[in-house]
A and B are shown apart, each in its own frame.
Chain A
């Protein structure tokens, strides 16, 4: 197991954690390549649909429309759920969500819960809460089960164990599931996991899933998986629970269809997820509960720019394309959700205030996004909010006013740059503060010209 990964919450800056991740360059290359392959698959899938850009625009507009009429659609959804025999609960934050879930499970004396793919339950830290109340929680998505056995948080929202090599999974399964020592064949390991998970499904008292979409006019939820594990869970025990953020709501089946067409294509390059299940009522003699969670989302809606991050459908496409995420790993972001979307929705939760700067503002994420979340603009906006709040990292609070004054003065800029050019020309490895320390550590310093362009122009064009 690599020692480069620390748990999600932490007090080191993104840059510090990324620097540690970058020390193992072969692993960085492997990580970057694995994720870039997903981006390439996505490109092939997206290019196979002539109307791809129109789908993105439709996706963006329908999510914006729903977000601006959220109260209306949530009420409609609740009403239709009730009509379908579904019990609806409202949670203002993670703590309330966990209490609601525990209350439902405790009433039915649930001892074991099988859970499928939900970043929201990660966001609410549900597993440790339930475990502290004596309920065993089994994550059933293969990737999530792997990291659960390894006692790690997810490092990606769609492929949560992407940071682990198959040999590492083999070692883990050998220790936890009794597979052969040294075995790393993916087929063998998957079969072992499948047998192990079957036992869990058959012995569980309740099942819980996340929600990809909630359809207002049907009172139904959509759950997308590739392994069918959500369906194995939800169809076996009589008690099923679904957790959703308020942002998951869409008006109708037509709008769900738009998102279903882009979700899997943008995530993994598949035309559609292997299983896209619609749940619209409990089993015979069973119970179905939906917990609708706010947890800071209405606060985000108050800020016009941040609000657009709630258009996200969690495909993970922005992580796969992000050159910084691919080279710094999911655990460097100080939030449950990493990468560009993690910065957009998690910047306020980062106690180091550094994650908005873990970005070159290259804009690739915004162009990849199937619902046109303007991620680079949101990240840029977070920097401004941090600056306004006096929470700048990397010493910016002290040096930025100096830079501001310096750049605004031709005299200061010209004099000091003239000195700097001379220094660069005559001093080997000269230190041009505040720039060249970090610059020169990894690159050769610029070859300095003798004089400025302005000097040349004045001399040669006679101004």
Chain B
């Protein structure tokens, strides 16, 4: 498939290794990867603050970067940004061209589970990992059934990763409680955000896993800062890095 990458500003500027792993893994799976120019931010920092007027220019700039781009799918290695982009594109542009872009948007896990499943992994990943089920991915993208919901359960994140040879998957206590990042929440509500992050980082560390693995770079960035401040014997990895290492 021809895949256009949607690389959120946070990944582009602060976590390029997540983008690189995404490119490499998609190429190993036989896809052609392009990077449409002119991408900045999905507008989430503004819309989540209630500031829709301030978000419009940014959101439309990102949308325009994808309009008319020839591709089979637009893939993003960040669930929260993907959700925000979908919602914000729809909010500010109701044209068929915008809808065409929205229809092609996939979060990386979602793409690898629903659209182009991985047939086989070539290498083992000899580590115990603690899965970070970030909120927007599970409660807005259905990547996993949230713990509040009863009935049949699905977990696309685990389904994708468990096929990797030798990998051991565990979960932290209160397994899908929010890590406390919340975008500007981390700044506006510093004390509560830090306490939530501290609790989450410790819960991951208590599993004895070597890595806390997630699909949302922003949550991982926050947890990484918490883990290093607490000097916990665990590191964060993005799901793309784990998959890329096993292909």
Residues of A bordering B, CB below 8 Å = 14-15, 18-19, 22, 25, 28, 32, 36, 43, 46-47, 49, 52-53, 321, 323-324, 327-328, 356-364, 366-368, 380, 382-388, 392-394, 396, 400-401, 403-405, 407-410, 413, 417, 420-421, 434-435, 437-439, 441-449, 451-457, 461, 463
Q: How far is the CB of A370 from chain B (nearest CB, A)?
A: 11
Jot down 13 A-B pairs with beta carbons below 8 A, ordered by A.
A14-B189, A324-B192, A364-B139, A400-B46, A413-B9, A438-B190, A442-B194, A442-B226, A443-B194, A446-B224, A453-B13, A453-B20, A457-B19
Contact between chains at B49 and A387 (CB < 8 Å): yes
Task: Beyond A367-B148, A394-B187, A417-B13, list 5 extra A-B contacts (CB 8 Å).
Answer: A22-B192, A324-B192, A328-B192, A407-B41, A443-B225
Contact between chains at A452 and B43 (CB < 8 Å): no
- Complex Cα gap A401–B53 (Å): 8
Query: Which residues in A have their C-beta under 8 angstroms from that of B20?
Result: 453, 456
- Complex Cα gap A448–B16 (Å): 10
Contact between chains at A403 and B46 (CB < 8 Å): yes
Q: A362-B178, A446-B225 are in contact. Are A404 and B146 (CB under 8 A)?
A: no
Q: How far is the CB of B108 from chain A (nearest CB, A)?
A: 14
Instruction: Report how many residues on chain B are interfacial, defined by Cβ distance under 8 Å.
Output: 75
Q: How far is the CB of A232 from chain B (nearest CB, A)?
A: 35
- Complex Cα gap A368–B139 (Å): 11
Q: How far is the CB of A172 from chain B (nearest CB, A)?
A: 28
- The listed residue (A360, A387, A409, A451) touching B181 by CB distance below 8 A is A360
Nearest-CB residue, chain A, relative to B135: A362
- Complex Cα gap A448–B221 (Å): 11
| Complex A-B, nearest 7 residue pairs according to Cβ-Cβ distance, in ascending order | A443-B225, A383-B50, A360-B182, A404-B54, A442-B194, A387-B50, A453-B19
- The listed residue (B11, B174, B198) touching A453 by CB distance below 8 A is B11
Contact between chains at B196 and A393 (CB < 8 Å): no
Contact between chains at B35 and A404 (CB < 8 Å): no
Contact between chains at B150 and A383 (CB < 8 Å): no
Residues of B bordering A, CB below 8 Å = 7, 9, 11-20, 23, 33-35, 37-38, 40-41, 43, 45-46, 48-58, 61, 135-136, 139-140, 146-151, 174, 176-178, 180-182, 184-199, 221-222, 224-226, 228-229
Query: Which residues in A have their C-beta under 8 angstroms from that of B33?
Result: 461
Query: Which residues in B have their C-beta under 8 angstroms from that of A366?
Result: 139
- The listed residue (A32, A401, A452) touching B16 by CB distance below 8 A is A452
- Complex Cα gap A368–B176 (Å): 13
- Complex Cα gap A434–B136 (Å): 24
Q: A367-B139, A461-B33 are in contact. Are A410 and B41 (CB under 8 A)?
A: no
Query: Which residues in B have their C-beta under 8 angstroms from that of A52?
Result: 150-151
Nearest-CB residue, chain A, relative to B54: A404
Nearest-CB residue, chain B, relative to A25: B195
Q: A364-B178, A446-B221, A456-B20 are in contact. Are A408 and B57 (CB under 8 A)?
A: yes
Q: Is the interface of B mostly helix, strand, loop or mixed?
A: helix
- The listed residue (B19, B147, B176, B191) touching A15 by CB distance below 8 A is B191
- Complex Cα gap A184–B213 (Å): 44
Q: A453-B12, A453-B16 are in contact. Are A392 and B57 (CB under 8 A)?
A: no
Query: Which residues in A have their C-beta under 8 angstroms from that of B226?
Result: 442-443
- Complex Cα gap A413–B41 (Å): 10
- Complex Cα gap A403–B49 (Å): 11
Contact between chains at A449 and B149 (CB < 8 Å): no
- Complex Cα gap A324–B41 (Å): 27
Query: Which residues in B have their C-beta under 8 angstroms from that of A321?
Result: 148
Contact between chains at B40 and A357 (CB < 8 Å): no
Q: How far is the CB of B4 from chain A (nearest CB, A)?
A: 12
Query: Which residues in A have their C-beta under 8 angstroms from that of B180?
Result: 323, 360
- Complex Cα gap A384–B222 (Å): 26
Contact between chains at B49 and A46 (CB < 8 Å): no
Contact between chains at A46 and B46 (CB < 8 Å): no
- The listed residue (B16, B184, B186, B190) touching A449 by CB distance below 8 A is B16
Most buried by B among A323, A359, A388, A457: A323
Q: How far is the CB of B71 from chain A (nearest CB, A)?
A: 14
Query: Which residues in A have their C-beta under 8 angstroms from that of B37?
Result: 463
Query: Which residues in A have their C-beta under 8 angstroms from that of B38?
Result: 410
- Complex Cα gap A356–B37 (Å): 36
Query: Which residues in A have their C-beta under 8 angstroms from that of B45?
Result: 403, 407
Nearest-CB residue, chain A, relative to B27: A461
Contact between chains at A383 and B48 (CB < 8 Å): yes
Contact between chains at A362 and B58 (CB < 8 Å): no
Query: Which residues in A have their C-beta under 8 angstroms from that of B48?
Result: 361, 380, 383
Q: How far is the CB of B76 from chain A (nearest CB, A)?
A: 12
Q: How far is the CB of A408 from chain B (nearest CB, A)?
A: 4
Most buried by B among A46, A359, A360, A441: A360
Contact between chains at B58 and A408 (CB < 8 Å): yes
Contact between chains at A442 and B16 (CB < 8 Å): no
Nearest-CB residue, chain B, relative to A14: B189
Q: A364-B146, A408-B58, A454-B7 are in contact. Are A445 and B225 (CB under 8 A)?
A: yes
Q: How far is the CB of A325 from chain B (nearest CB, A)?
A: 10
